Amino acid sequence: MESPSKRRKKNDSKPTPATHGSLDFFFRKQAQQSLASPSSTSAQDQSKSEQSLSDEELARKLQEEWAREDESQSQRINVGETSASSDSAYRNERDAEESLTDTLAKSDSEAKAVPSEHEKAILGLQSTASDGDAVTLTIPFDQSPLVFNPSTYVPELKRQWAKEGGDALYALLTRCFFLVNSTQSRIKIVDTLVNCLRVIIESDPDSLLPAVWLATNSISPPYISLELGLGGSAISKALKKVCGLDSAGLKTLYDKHGDAGDVAFEAKKRQSFTLRKPKPLSIKSAYQTLVKIANSKGHGSVEQKQRLVERLLQDARGPEESRYIVRTLVQHLRIGAVKTTMLIALARAFQLSRPEGADFPLQDLASLAKLKKDELAAVWSSAEETVKTCFARRPNYNDLVPGLLEVGVSDELLLRCSLALHIPLRPMLGSITRDLSEMLTKLQGRDFSCEYKYDGQRAQVHCDENGKVSIFSRHLEVMTDKYPDLVALVPEIRGDGVSSFILEGEVVAVDRNSGQLKTFQTLTNRARKDVDIGSIQVEVCLFAFDLMYLNGEQLLDRPFRERRALLRSMFIEKEHHFTWVQSIDATSTDSETVLEFFKSATEIKCEGIMVKVLDNLPNPDLLPPGQSPPHTEQLPTPKKSKKSKNAQEKDTEKEKGTRRKALLATYEPDKRLDSWLKVKKDYATSADTIDLIPVAGWHGQGRKAKWWSPILLACRNPATGSLEVVTKCISGFTDKFYQANKEKYEQGGQNTHGKRPSYIEYSAYEPDVWFEPQEVWEMAFADITLSPTYTAAIGLVSEERGLSMRFPRFLRVREDKSIEEASTAEFLAALYRKQEARVKETDNIGAEPRGNGLDADEEGLDNEDDEDHY
Ligand code: ATP
């Protein structure tokens, strides 16, 4: 799950028609069906008759239906397989399912009208907890880990789990999720996770890995493609079926709560019957079912997935379990246990607990309890740094968790999780700087390299001694199939002395003859996978900027100057195919040169510059008079020191008696440090603003679940009297504004018919609510693009395409303007023409057609959900 801001440069920047997080897809389909399908009346009748059935009758009816489905499914489902273990897990599960199904189907057909005593037990009232659950439901996971004692709970939990097959139950995770969800405090969230992980480590270590996957709301690392592939409709259908709701009931719940998990909670609360005696979900079985859903491919997979979802929902005991199962299914768990938090929790948990039989050392609780706050923080931080380093180099819980269970947080773990070919490391990131002068101030006393910041797609290229090549995206997805031309290029660029390597660069669309750079949007026109090397339309050049591994040796701890020298000496340029990023070396005294370089970057369609520290040590000649360079022994020695980099930096800082941080020139996977600075041309390249009318909105996700976000905005077309939608906006709003906006449009401002008003021109993804147009908002934007989605100003600039805006940002409500004074389509078109003229001025070698494929919302706008900034 990626934040919108990350979608831009993902290996998938095409529009996603329906988000998993929403059920609107289902409702839209329902609406369409009821309009289009001649059988809709009978469907309605059926739903009506279902409503008039008693709970028990309905349960029996569905039971029969399921038994029939089970029978036919078991004969025809063809399930894709990825691994032997998931396959055998699948078979075991399936056997269990089938025997249960058989029993139920048999008992169902034996007793027709009058349910037997046995059946009554099966079709009994929903039970939410068994006796043993009482322990689970009261575990104080949110205590301080220094107080919490897993052994108080483990024996009783194990006794309870033994009755259900021995595996840790999903109820335990639900308890943890519930507590995490009930607090805003990051400390409490981490404590709760730490304690929950400790209980699992000490009671059922085999469930730790699936628990970590479930808590991080994922099932595999990004470079192993395993997608649930569920639409909102699968979940809403399952909710209706399992909880006995009709469409209207479900829609009411959804409109009220806006979150699929909360809807499931309410639906389950209201459920008065259960179809089978719930078989308690275990952590393992929940995870395995998700893997099965993801692996379900080919003919019959839709039904198979549907059935698995229904089983999950049915086996979820009680509303809370249902809430989190559904949130897991819609891939929006909302518990803030994202990567960073999970790594911290794992590091701490393994300082305090180990599985039976393991002998790695643990911290002594009594001694920890005596430490001062900052001393305790130092103990945690050192362990956290190790775990984070491991995960940054090997971003896969399947590697990390088994390693932790065996050797704990140790040097051995670092060895096990070191860099490996064909496994992407998490890329180093650049910090944002406001402008060049801020950058020059930050890097005083340092030698640095300024590089063009190309507007393409980051690529990590791996090649082993046998010449096998893998290419990964910024978000670690495999894109080897997308760039067969780069794969073919590797033998040519690899110098004689190179056997294996991992290098990094930016793939940019180029004109093969002139080498002229093309826009990022041009690059998005390349297919995502299975690109045929013989029919490539979008030619690319790889601009290499770093080398992390060479001939079996990892180079992360070498200073950038050295890595760059190796890159440039060991590899061979090929004109317009493979080269180095354009760069100059400079210091803070070279402001004029740097400014010129920055200008030259923007002139050739680069986004700005990246500035990288070249050496670990400051240049003594550049230090202000009176300030001496730090002694060598004060500097971190990355290979030997067991201290975290942060701790080292702090030490150096202290000893130097200066506030300036020691900036390392090493490659730091997954870190955003000041040793890499991004200086971009301002997003708001356009000084123009436009006045638009808010016309519709979607239920927000996550933090914004209670409000409308994004919001759809339109301009006026005075000729037709219609409002033409221009863009969706999620940027520039404060929470207070969102709240007020929600209230405003609830108090009579909302168009309650639920249909697009005929005077609004819009045909893309249906919003959740249409507003009664009533006000004007002043909007800023980066630039205006030709849009494949929006039809605003169609015919004024292009006959086929309308206009939209990139990076729209709300500025203010124009209290002084009525909606009749909102900007017109002609005004929008004029802005576009003005912008194009400006572009041609700076680029008279024939500008790339702009706006061929992406609108703002597809490019991603805000970072607020970025887990790295958690
Ligand atoms: P980030 O990748 O830092 O999280 P982001 O996704 O918003 O941020 P940008 O702010 O555009 O991306 O900047 C970083 C990206 O710039 C890199 O991930 C890389 O794809 C690209 N880039 C282009 N030229 C260079 C370069 N010379 N050195 C490093 N990165 C570069």
Instruction: Output the residue whose Cα is nearest ligand 1's atom 19.
Output: 458
**Each residue's pLDDT tens digit, 63-76:** 455 455 545 544 44
Our answer on whether the CB atom of 605 is closer than 6 Å to any ligand 1 atom is no
The answer to whether the CB of 7 falls within 8 A of the CB of 859 is yes
User: Is 571 within a domain?
Assistant: yes
Our answer on whether the CB atom of 429 is closer than 6 Å to any ligand 1 atom is yes
**Each residue's pLDDT tens digit, 389-405:** 999 999 999 999 999 99
**Each residue's pLDDT tens digit, 285-303:** 999 999 999 999 988 999 9
Same domain, 201 and 241: no
pLDDT at 71: 52
Same domain, 581 and 724: no
Active-site residue, from 240, 305, 453, 612: 453
**Each residue's pLDDT tens digit, 173-230:** 999 999 998 887 889 999 999 999 999 999 999 999 999 999 998 999 999 989 888 8
User: Is 7 within a domain?
Assistant: no
Residue 528 CA to ligand 1 center (angstroms) comes to: 20
Our answer on whether the CB atom of 581 is closer than 6 Å to any ligand 1 atom is yes
Q: Which residues is 460 bridged to in the sheet?
A: 472, 504
- The model's pTM is 0.69
Which residues lie closer than 8 Å to 132 by C-beta, 6 or more apart? Answer: 156, 157, 159, 160, 161, 163
| Domain region containing 175 | 121-216
Arithmetic mean of pLDDT, 620-625:
76
| Strand arrangement, sheet containing 448-453 | 429-433, 672-680, 608-613, 448-453, 583-586
Our answer on whether the CB atom of 506 is closer than 6 Å to any ligand 1 atom is yes
User: Is 655 within a domain?
Assistant: no
Same domain, 475 and 608: yes
Mean pLDDT is lowest, of 262-266, 775-779, 827-831, for: 262-266
User: Is 609 within a domain?
Assistant: yes
DSSP string, 562-609: HHHHHHHHHB--BTTTEEEPPEEEE-TT-HHHHHHHHHHHHHTT--EE
Residue 430 CA to ligand 1 center (angstroms) comes to: 7
Atom of ligand 1 nearest to the CA of 612: 28
Mutate to test the pocket of ligand 1, among 5, 10, 474, 677 (most ligand atoms within 8 A of CB): 474
Our answer on whether the CB atom of 451 is closer than 6 Å to any ligand 1 atom is yes
Same domain, 298 and 162: no
Our answer on whether the CB atom of 520 is closer than 6 Å to any ligand 1 atom is no
Residue 7 CA to ligand 1 center (angstroms) comes to: 13
Check pLDDT > 60 for residue 37: no
Instruction: Output the residue whose Cα is nearest ligand 1's atom 6.
Output: 6
Check pLDDT > 90 for residue 414: yes
Check pLDDT > 90 for residue 800: no
User: Is 84 within a domain?
Assistant: no
pLDDT at 19: 33
Which residues lie closer than 8 Å to 39 by C-beta, 6 or more apart? Answer: none
The neighbour count for residue 302, using CB atoms within 10 Å, is 14
Same domain, 199 and 251: no
pLDDT at 253: 82
**What distance in Å separates the CA atoms of residue 138 and residue 148, rounded to the nearest whole number?**
13
Instruction: Label residue 154 by pLDDT band (50, 70, 90).
Output: very high
* Residue 453 annotated as catalytic: yes
Among 216, 251, 283, the domain boundary falls at 216
Same domain, 146 and 263: no
Q: Comparing 700 with 668, which gets the higher pLDDT?
A: 668
pLDDT at 258: 72
Atom of ligand 1 nearest to the CA of 868: 4
Check pLDDT > 50 for residue 146: yes
User: Number of helices (H) and strands (E), helices first, in the chain?
Assistant: 31, 21
Cis peptide upstream of residue 638 (ω within 30 degrees of 0): no
Same domain, 439 and 541: yes
Among 272, 303, 330, the domain boundary falls at 330
Arithmetic mean of pLDDT, 40-60:
42
Considering 315-319, 397-401, 741-745, the range whose residues carry the highest mean pLDDT is 397-401
Average pLDDT over the chain, rounded to an integer: 79
**Each residue's pLDDT tens digit, 573-608:** 999 999 999 999 999 999 889 999 999 998 998 989
Among 578, 595, 613, the domain boundary falls at 613
Same domain, 442 and 567: yes
Tally of domains within the chain? 4
Check pLDDT > 70 for residue 252: yes
Same domain, 485 and 587: yes
User: Is 669 within a domain?
Assistant: no
Same domain, 202 and 303: no
| 696 residue type, one letter | A
Q: Comparing 146 with 333, which gets the higher pLDDT?
A: 146
User: Is 500 within a domain?
Assistant: yes
Residue 544 CA to ligand 1 center (angstroms) comes to: 13
Our answer on whether the CB atom of 610 is closer than 6 Å to any ligand 1 atom is yes
**Each residue's pLDDT tens digit, 327-370:** 888 877 777 667 889 999 999 999 999 999 999 999 999 999 99
Same domain, 197 and 265: no
Instruction: Output the residue whose Cα is nearest ligand 1's atom 16.
Output: 453
Query: Alpha helix locations (H) across 116-163?
Result: 117-122, 133-138, 154-163
Residue 518 CA to ligand 1 center (angstroms) comes to: 17
Residue 6 CA to ligand 1 center (angstroms) comes to: 11
Residue 543 CA to ligand 1 center (angstroms) comes to: 12
**Each residue's pLDDT tens digit, 64-116:** 554 555 455 444 433 333 333 333 333 333 333 333 233 223 333 333 333 33
Q: Look up tokens 């943890």; give the residue.
A: 176
**Each residue's pLDDT tens digit, 635-667:** 333 333 444 444 444 444 333 433 445 799 999
Query: Strand, coil or helix: what is 196?
Result: helix
Q: Comparing 423 with 252, which gets the higher pLDDT?
A: 423
User: Is 517 within a domain?
Assistant: yes
Mutate to test the pocket of ligand 1, among 563, 678, 864 (most ligand atoms within 8 A of CB): 678
Same domain, 778 and 802: yes
Check pLDDT > 50 for residue 760: yes
Instruction: Output the residue whose Cα is nearest ligand 1's atom 1.
Output: 429
